[in-house]
Structure 1
Amino acid sequence: MRIFLFAALLLISISAQSQEYRRSIDITYAFGSTAVFQKGNLIGATGYEARHFDTYGVSYTRSLANTVSIYTGISWLTGKIENIDLSQNPRISKVSNTSLIYIPIGVKFTFLKYFFVKGNAILAFDTSKNSPLSNQTGIGGGMAVGAQYMVNSRLGIHFCPYFNQHGIILFNRGAQHERLMENGFQFGINYRF
């Protein structure tokens, strides 16, 4: 009986040590540029030029299989938009702050151990106080392709270029129906548990 109990405890201990961690928390920082798109052509209307944007985020990932994971989180995007009045000569411009809080919900596929591709839906909330753009609260989408490296069994880093399209479906439509597109590079640190 003692030998059976010892063998069972040894087997449980070995299987617990060899078990992969299936969940992770990521802390991310992204920087990049944005573009503003409008539906339809507006002659003599205001133009927009987006400036540098920063995004800070936290996400939770759950592995479903060795190569497939689902994830969600919360991110805060902040940056500046230049509103250019094209009807004036010389052009008149005003720079405004814009800010979004968004929740991505997506799927991540890992391949060749160090690389991944992911796609997600985005639920965004426009928190801008004086942005010249239409309210960007709505549903969007995004994708990324990147590389990851595990420093040890629990701590890893990742880097990926990404693309997010906000306002595919706007909840609060403005008169101009502008859409904010964001592309950039994301860096992250993750902790597996």
Structure 2
Amino acid sequence: MSAVHRLIEAGRTLVEAGLSPGSSGNLSVRDGEGLVMTGTGTQLGALQPRDLAVLTRDGAHVEGARPSKEVPLHVALYAKNPAHEAVVHVHSPYAVALACLAPWAEHSAVPPLTPYSLMRVGQVPLLPFAAPGDPAMGALIGDSPHPFHAALLANHGAVVSGETIERAVDSAIELEEACRIAVLTEGRERNLIPVEQVLAITGRWGTPWTPAPVG
């Protein structure tokens, strides 16, 4: 399946899962020496080939629709995870809600409540606020000291990368569920997964987790 058709399918899946209200969110995939990205103002559940933009790897527009203003966000996450081939950015309700709260820890806004989020995404730092489309978003990703495949953007939403667009979509859906559980348990005494088990799970699945400093 071509990059274009995979993006169209990914957009439909995200909308059906409730992660992309209205015309919010954007997707991209690496394709040869460039990127294919959703255009500005497009509805992910109704994408057509004409709604997609072709970019260079560093984000310069080559042809097609006018790309989403979040190009710097995507380019920076590819640079952080060079083996990944796709990026998903959504304004899903619980990711936005958790991104409006103080983070659970410096390295992860999402506490280790379920093994599935650890298996899919690992730690999820909360990045400082930058206005949508601000090139500073790319710098915030590049400057973060923590490795991550997914991050929450303060008061904004979530961004996730993956080895494939299908994997990135699955991870975004799992992250939204993890955020939902975190919001529902906020302010209560939680039973967290023990740190040794967190490290065992993330180590087995190849997802990042930064152990808390000792002492």
Structure 2 length as normaliser, TM-score? 0.22
Larger-gyration structure (1/2): 1
Structure 1 length as normaliser, TM-score? 0.23
Q: Considering fraction of residues, name the structure with more strand.
A: 1
Q: Considering fraction of residues, name the structure with more helix.
A: 2
